[in-house]
Amino acid sequence: MVKPHGSDELNPLFVYDTAENEALQAEAANLPSITISSAAAANAVMLGGGYFNPLTGYMNKADAISVAENMHTTSGLFWPTPVLNLVKDAGSIKAGDRIALKDPNVEGNPVLAVMDVEAVEELSDDEVTNIVQNVFRTTDPEHPGVATFMDQGKVVLSGPIKVLNFSYFQTEFPDTFRTAVEIRNEIKEHGWKKVVAFQTRNPMHRAHEELCHMAMERLGADGLVIHMLLGKLKPGDIPAPVRDAAIRKMVELYFKPNSVIVTGYGFDMLYAGPREAVLHAVFRQNMGANYLIVGRDHAGVGDYYGDFDAQEIFDTIPEGTLEIEIFKADHTAYSKKLNKVVMMREAPDHTKEDFILLSGTKVREMLSRGEAPPPEFSRPEVAKILMDYYQSLSS
């Protein structure tokens, strides 16, 4: 199986030893505490699950700036996006303190992790702008990722953490949420040798389904991990339970038995386009995938990124930096000429009229009216789950 990023073995920061976990919970009750942002909580969950291997905790200011500017920490570790615990006010917390990090997303704000604070530093306005511009390629406050970053505060709490639970992800998504450790174990159990990962924050239509089939076939892969984001999205995105049901139905009916794992991870979407695509590759390597499908406008939002910027960024990464490889996908659509889904660049003799093309807005309008999109666009069984959801919104 592909090695984790930056180490020979995966080093998840979750405390699996029950006695140690309970002792830390008891200790945390008497520690100074701070309720962290949703973004910092998501980082803790990813660190806990081994997805952010080999990081041992939150980055300091120098590492965050270095990562933003050149995708390496100050010690030379390749990493595409800062992993921070930003707060508006650290109060009396100082370097050398051991503190409890409280979960903002669970009622009662239980302790999510225990942190040994190595530094408390403040970002200047110029440093915030520099990080944001490099990571998101824009400082526009209308960009949802930029807005979230700017809203967290400028005080950087850095240092190693020990993670005590996986926030709401394990309880709300017990059948779907998995750590990188668990996915590696599942891949081993299946005996898969070549694994393709597919990232999604949306339900999967015919084009996505066929893209996964295409990638598996062309790469000679024997396993597919459909890996969906379970954390915070922007308004209007389809909630995870609906996505999950639609994807599971598609897999059940249209993929070979025992060739697909449907799973999810606890992270908030950054909408950072190219940089987030690289982050997706890093943590898919950590979960044991050999390939990641990167399609058109991967992890993008609005018009902030070019259609294939998220593929082109991989051409700038020195060879050997990552073991995972990228399957570069073009826009896929159903060809009326060929009666199948194709990558549009592979059908040069086609005009726009030869494809069935529907915008996301158009599809949402149809579903909310109780109309199924054409079967060439969406499997009827999948469309039914989505129609029921959209109609429940208007009833």
Range(s) of the chain covered by CATH 3.40.50.620: 175-394
Q: CB of 40 within 8 A of CB of 88? A: no
Strands 195-200 and 86-87: unpaired
Enumerate the CATH 3.10.400.10 domain ranges in the chain, comma separated.
18-170
Q: Which residues lie closer than 8 Å to 155 by C-beta, 6 or more apart?
A: 86, 87, 88, 89, 90, 120, 121, 122, 123
What element of type H or E holds 294?
strand 291-294
The tokens for 167 are 């926030």
pLDDT for res 342: 95
pLDDT at 395: 66
- Let me know if 18 is exposed, middle or buried by CB neighbors in 10 A (0-12, 13-18, 19+): exposed
Q: How far apart are CA 350 and CA 257, in angstroms?
A: 34
* Global pTM value: 0.95
Q: Cα–Cα distance between 30 and 261 in angstroms, integer? A: 41
Separation of alpha carbons 167 and 187, rounded Å:
25
Residues with a catalytic annotation lie at 201-202
**Fold for the domain defined by 18-170:** Sulfate adenylyltransferase (3.10.400)
How far is the C-alpha of 164 from the C-alpha of 28, rounded, in Å?
10
The pLDDT of residue 240 is 87
Cis preceding-peptide flag for 54 (omega within 30 of 0) = yes
Q: Tell me how far apart the alpha carbons of residues 211 and 195 are, in angstroms, rounded to a whole number.
A: 14
* Residue located via tokens 């302790």: 111
Structure tokens at 186: 């599942």
CATH (residue range 175-394):
3.40.50.620
User: For the chain, how many residues are written?
Assistant: 395
Rounded-to-integer distance, Cα 215 and Cα 372, Å: 27
Q: What is the pLDDT of residue 53?
A: 98
Q: What parts of the chain have a pLDDT lower than 50?
A: none
Res 368: pLDDT: 87
> How many H-runs (helices) and E-runs (strands) does the chain carry?
13, 15
